[in-house]
């Protein structure tokens, strides 16, 4: 009874907000935004051990109820203010002891003179893939829908990871544009400054990120841009005299040629970076360049398109705004953090990544952070991963009249500069994906039947040299998902995802300046398999209730961790308004 009564205050608040929202529509001066969710996990751990684990509790129940309550105020046509409070109650709290209150969002934005737009406070901002870009996390970004419900509504929502790959930062942004009658159509100006780190008034300086973008639309055939992104310290904000600078300057070009049945373009970005530490005699000064060119052609009538790309990113190219990873591989999961009688730390798995928000970064990092070669050894830091050069080709097919889409891509890269040896690593990747609304093939059947499939194969190789072992590391990721609407708005969901990694490589060990100073042997021979069966009821487009059973099996033949399984029961209610 106690668990049933706990969500009632939050539900009453939501009902009041809906009522007030209806009244607000009459005045159009303010409205209420936000969301609410309730989630419950029941986990069951099973280990394959010669002796039973008598230390780790095999069953864990956890969950919470929360509401994000925000008010949007529009005092006039040119000003908007929004603030949001998060109220969260973890299951197990008693008489408010488990309740927390946090400011989730606060910003002011508006327009001056109908031309100059500004925003202060919390800002979602992006520039280009080499200046400021929030690359998708490995493995879980392309999961079937039955798994994506947790990834999208918990991890991505809590950390403000949006589909446009923008970073949530705190600071100020401004933009305006000029329209011309002749020679040039439009010239756009965008600027942003955010605070990455606050001074502790002793050893840490204030560290800021500033970006500037000028974008020229010459015509329907040509566009060009200039981008400046800089991470830097403010002198005098602490006793630390070492001042960090990392400016990145890039240019973009886009050539467009369209006809009735054909669409084609060439997109290019090129530039350089410089990383330096003033007043630090031991620090290096890193400089490097990059370029990335992609050409694509699409036939409108057939829906078939092809693309080809060429890129080179120097080994000393550093861009914190685009090389910051989402996943924090130095963290450990909250559920079953230690297992076996020896209480060894359990590494992050697919299941942890799709449901634990605390395993992710929310701020830009000045240095290259830890990576997991078994998950992604080719582009661990996104498109801007340093020390890569090579080419890629791709093809896709999507036609509005046929409810099927498919894509294939091949990437071939190698190191610009060998690490620990003159021989460079060689990388290859095959990507396959397909999805279909099967119900559209069936006559007189309007309910949803959606199927999806994806497969990724990665390979890393390097020939052996005297006293140096050869490198051969492979990763395979396969997934399949199915949604079937059995009754109106009631969906049955199935999901399968498999991840395997096998082989050997050398992991780079970096110092505080992101320089490679040593190497550690990395040997992998493991597999993660996850299956799920779930039900989802869609009350509206923004409100749903889902329950599912999923099973994770982790196998590690290296002997570092025993084979184990986690059976998860999950119940999630999600509402947004």
Calpha distance 375→559 (Å, rounded): 19
Quickly count: other Cβ atoms within 10 Å of residue 520's Cβ: 9
Dump pLDDT digits (tens) for 166-194: 999 999 999 999 999 888 999 999 999 99
For the chain, percent of residues with pLDDT exceeding 90: 85
* First-to-last C-alpha distance (Å) of the chain: 28
- What pLDDT is stored for residue 29 in this prediction? 85
- What pLDDT is stored for residue 98 in this prediction? 73
Cβ-based neighbours of 77, under 8 Å, separated by 6 or more: none
Mean pLDDT score, 86-100 = 80
Report the SS3 class of residue 366: coil
Q: Quick check: 264 and 291 in contact, CB under 8 A?
A: no
Calpha distance 298→192 (Å, rounded): 35
Place 260 in a pLDDT band, splitting at 50, 70 and 90.
confident
- What pLDDT is stored for residue 94 in this prediction? 64
Q: Quick check: 235 and 208 in contact, CB under 8 A?
A: no
- What pLDDT is stored for residue 73 in this prediction? 94
- What pLDDT is stored for residue 494 in this prediction? 97
Q: Quick check: 349 and 492 in contact, CB under 8 A?
A: no
Higher pLDDT, 91 or 251: 251
Flag the least confident range among 75-79, 298-302, 416-420, 442-446: 442-446
- What pLDDT is stored for residue 93 in this prediction? 66
Q: Whole-prediction pTM value?
A: 0.91
- What pLDDT is stored for residue 389 in this prediction? 98
Q: How many helices (H) and strands (E) does the chain have?
A: 6, 24
Report the SS3 class of residue 537: strand
Report the SS3 class of residue 283: coil
Judged against a pLDDT cut of 90, whether residue 156 lies above it is answered with yes
Mean pLDDT score, 438-463 = 93
Instruction: Report the mean per-residue pLDDT for the chain.
Output: 92
Cα–Cα distances in angstroms (integers) from residue 155 to residues 137, 140, 352, 390, 479, in the given order: 11, 11, 10, 33, 20
Place 92 in a pLDDT band, splitting at 50, 70 and 90.
confident
- What pLDDT is stored for residue 444 in this prediction? 80
For the chain, percent of residues with pLDDT exceeding 70: 94
Dump pLDDT digits (tens) for 280-307: 989 999 999 999 999 999 999 999 999 9
Calpha distance 144→64 (Å, rounded): 24
Q: What angle do CA 397, 400, 405 make, to 5 degrees?
A: 30
Mean pLDDT score, 496-502 = 97
Flag the least confident range among 141-145, 210-214, 343-347: 141-145
């Amino acid at each position: 009874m106690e668990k049933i009564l706990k969500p009632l205050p939050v539900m009453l608040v939501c009902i009041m907000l809906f009522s007030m929202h209806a009244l607000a529509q009459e005045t159009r001066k303010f409205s209420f935004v936000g969301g609410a969710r309730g989630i419950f996990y029941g986990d069951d751990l099973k280990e394959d051990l010669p002796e039973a684990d008598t230390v780790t509790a095999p069953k864990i129940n956890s969950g919470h109820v929360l509401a994000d309550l925000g008010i949007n105020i529009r005092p006039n046509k040119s000003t908007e203010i929004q603030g949001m409070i998060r109220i969260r109650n973890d299951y197990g709290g008693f008489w408010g002891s488990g309740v927390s209150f946090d400011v989730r969002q606060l910003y002011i934005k508006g327009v001056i003179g109908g031309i100059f737009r500004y925003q202060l406070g919390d800002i979602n901002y992006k520039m280009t893939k080499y200046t400021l870009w929030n690359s998708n996390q490995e493995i879980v970004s392309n999961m079937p829908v039955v798994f994506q419900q947790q990834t999208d509504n918990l991890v991505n929502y809590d950390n403000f990871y949006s589909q446009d790959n923008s970073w949530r930062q705190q600071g100020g942004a401004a933009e305006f544009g000029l329209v011309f009658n002749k020679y040039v159509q439009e010239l756009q100006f965008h600027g942003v400054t955010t605070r990455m780190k606050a001074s502790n008034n002793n050893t840490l300086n204030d560290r800021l990120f500033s970006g500037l973008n000028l974008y020229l639309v010459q015509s329907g055939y040509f566009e060009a841009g200039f981008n400046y992104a800089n991470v830097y310290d403010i002198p005098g904000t602490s006793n630390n005299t070492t001042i960090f600078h990392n400016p990145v300057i890039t240019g973009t070009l886009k050539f467009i040629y369209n006809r009735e049945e054909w669409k084609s373009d060439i997109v290019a970005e090129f530039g350089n970076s410089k990383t330096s530490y003033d007043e630090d005699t031991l620090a290096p000064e890193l400089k490097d360049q990059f370029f990335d060119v992609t050409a694509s052609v699409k036939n409108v009538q057939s829906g078939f398109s092809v693309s080809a790309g060429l890129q080179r990113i120097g080994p000393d190219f550093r861009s914190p705004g685009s090389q910051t990873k989402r996943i924090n591989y130095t963290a450990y999961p909250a559920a079953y953090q230690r297992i076996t009688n020896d209480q060894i730390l359990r590494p992050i798995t697919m299941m942890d990544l799709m449901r634990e928000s605390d395993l992710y970064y929310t701020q830009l990092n000045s240095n290259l952070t830890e990576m997991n070669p078994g998950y992604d050894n080719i582009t661990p830091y996104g498109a801007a991963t340093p020390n890569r050069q090579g080419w890629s080709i791709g093809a896709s097919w999507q036609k509005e009249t046929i409810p099927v889409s498919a894509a294939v891509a091949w990437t071939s890269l190698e190191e610009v500069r060998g690490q620990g040896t003159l021989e460079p690593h060689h990388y290859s990747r095959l990507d396959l994906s397909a999805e279909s609304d099967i119900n559209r093939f069936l006559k007189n059947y309007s309910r949803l039947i959606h199927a999806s499939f994806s497969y990724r194969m990665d390979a890393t190789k390097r020939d052996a040299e005297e006293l140096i072992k050869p490198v051969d590391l492979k990763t395979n990721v396969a997934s399949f998902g199915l949604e079937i609407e059995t009754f109106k708005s009631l969906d049955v969901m199935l999901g399968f995802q498999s991840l395997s990694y096998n082989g050997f490589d050398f992991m780079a060990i970096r110092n505080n300046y992101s320089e490679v100073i040593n190497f550690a042997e990395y040997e992998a021979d493991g597999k993660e398999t996850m299956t799920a069966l779930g039900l989802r009821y869609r009350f509206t487009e923004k409100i749903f209730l889902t329950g599912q059973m999923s099973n994770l099996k982790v196998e590690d033949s290296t002997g570092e961790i025993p084979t184990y399984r986690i059976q998860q029961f999950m119940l999630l209610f999600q509402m947004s308004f």
